[in-house]
Amino acid sequence: MPHEKLQNLQASSLGFAGNARSAAPEVGGQGLPKALEFAVFERVHSANMAFGLCPLLTQGAIEALSAHGTERQKSLYLHKLIAGTWTGTMNLTEPQAGSDLALLRTRAEPDGNGKYRLYGQKIFITWGDHDAAENIVHLVLARLPDAPEGTRGISLFLAPKTLVNADGSLGATNTLGPVSIEHKLGIHASPTCVLAYEDAIGWTNGKTRFCLGPADAEGRRHKHRAGNIGFHHYAFQLRSRKDVGALLAFLVRAGIGVGAGVRYLGLGGKARGPFALVLPLVSRLLYLATDLVVGSIAIELLRNLSKRRARLRPPPA
């Protein structure tokens, strides 16, 4: 398929897949409830979970930028992400740091011009590099030079694959890219890779907070840069988004598995071979699994509806 046609297909598919559903109308979204977005994502994951992860991760980038990005960052990136012209990723995991973010080593050094230079490596980056979109917006966790140990010293950086000019057009290629392809179980169709950052350009949201470090020999405690404001909210958002995505993927795969079992055993008609001997027991298990899957999806939809009602409810007098 020609490169342009692939990008057009990706953009139209991402727009359908839910990027624009719950986003604010002023940045190209539809402002619809999260429950509807969840229902759309459920259909997409049912058809192709490997593809469905792309709009899921892009939605996480949209939410993080909407909540914590600067006005300039919002104007440059949100419209493209919501339209599906660009895609987004989250860059958390490193070779020596799995779920323990306190062990992150990727570093960010200020260049004196309001930008930062990123150095390090991230692994298991789902949809980390591909040519199905014009640009990829990476949200990267890294440490500043004077940051303390642990999660307090982690900052969030925006590092696009292709740098964006002041007028929104694409400029030079950023010095980041894949160094190897990785294979995640069950989503081999997803372009998952190891990403290396070698003097790559990144930006923060410009908001920095400080914390008091441990006492020195004279009992004094000095201020240390403790990461940019928004990191912990962003990490929570991404973790929540990832958990919801994992739940959705599990329910979808469970539903597909139950359907395959029903078809294989012929529960709608005559049972096959030796399975006829255990048909009553297996059929009860499959019907129980069906109830659990459908009920879990209904609970998640109800949860999203309840959250929307809570936001729309007027404050008490």
pLDDT of residue 249: 66
How many Å apart are CA 195 and CA 87, to the nearest integer? 16
pLDDT of residue 116: 93
Q: Where are the domains of the chain?
A: 3-34+48-228, 240-312
Q: What is the pLDDT along the chain (317 residues), one digit of tens a residue?
A: 445 655 565 555 555 555 667 777 888 877 777 777 777 877 787 778 888 888 888 888 888 888 888 889 999 999 999 888 899 998 988 998 877 778 889 999 998 888 999 999 999 998 999 988 899 999 998 888 888 887 778 888 999 999 999 999 999 999 999 999 888 777 778 889 999 999 999 998 776 544 444 444 555 544 444 455 444 555 555 555 555 656 666 666 666 676 776 666 665 555 555 555 566 776 777 777 777 777 777 777 777 777 767 766 676 65
pLDDT of residue 275: 55
pLDDT of residue 53: 84
Q: What is the pTM of this model?
A: 0.77
- Residue type for 21, please? R
CATH of domain 3-34+48-228: 2.40.110.20
Write out the chain in H/E/C secondary structure: CCHHHHHHHHHHHHHHHHHCCCCCHHHCCCCCCHHHHHHHHHHHHHHCHHHHHHHHHHHHHHHHHHHHCCHHHHHHHHHHHHHCCEEEEEECCECCECCCHHHCCCEEEECCCCCEEEEEEEEEECCCCCCCCCEEEEEEEEECCCCCCCHHHEEEEEEECEEECCCCCEEEECCEEEEEEECCCCCCCCCEEEEEEEEEEEECCCCEEEEECCCCCCCCCCEEEEEECCHHHHHHHHHHHHHHHHHHHHHHHHHHHHHHHHHHHCCCCCCCHHHHHHHHHHHHHHHHHHHHHHHHHHHHHHHHHHHHHHHHCCCCC
Task: Tell me how far CA of residue 298 lies from CA of 21, 268, 292, in angstroms.
Answer: 19, 25, 10
List pLDDT tens digits, range 37-57.
777 877 787 778 888 888 888
Q: Classify 120 in phi/psi space as left (phi over 0), alpha (psi -120 to 50) or beta.
A: left
pLDDT of residue 193: 92
- Residue type for 250, please? F
Q: 56: how many CB neighbours lie within 10 A of its CB?
A: 26
pLDDT of residue 212: 41
How many Å apart are CA 307 and CA 302, to the nearest integer? 9
Rounded to 5 degrees, φ, ψ at 16 are -70, -35
Using alpha carbons only, give the angle 35, 28, 165 rounded to the nearest 5 degrees: 130
- Residue type for 213, please? G
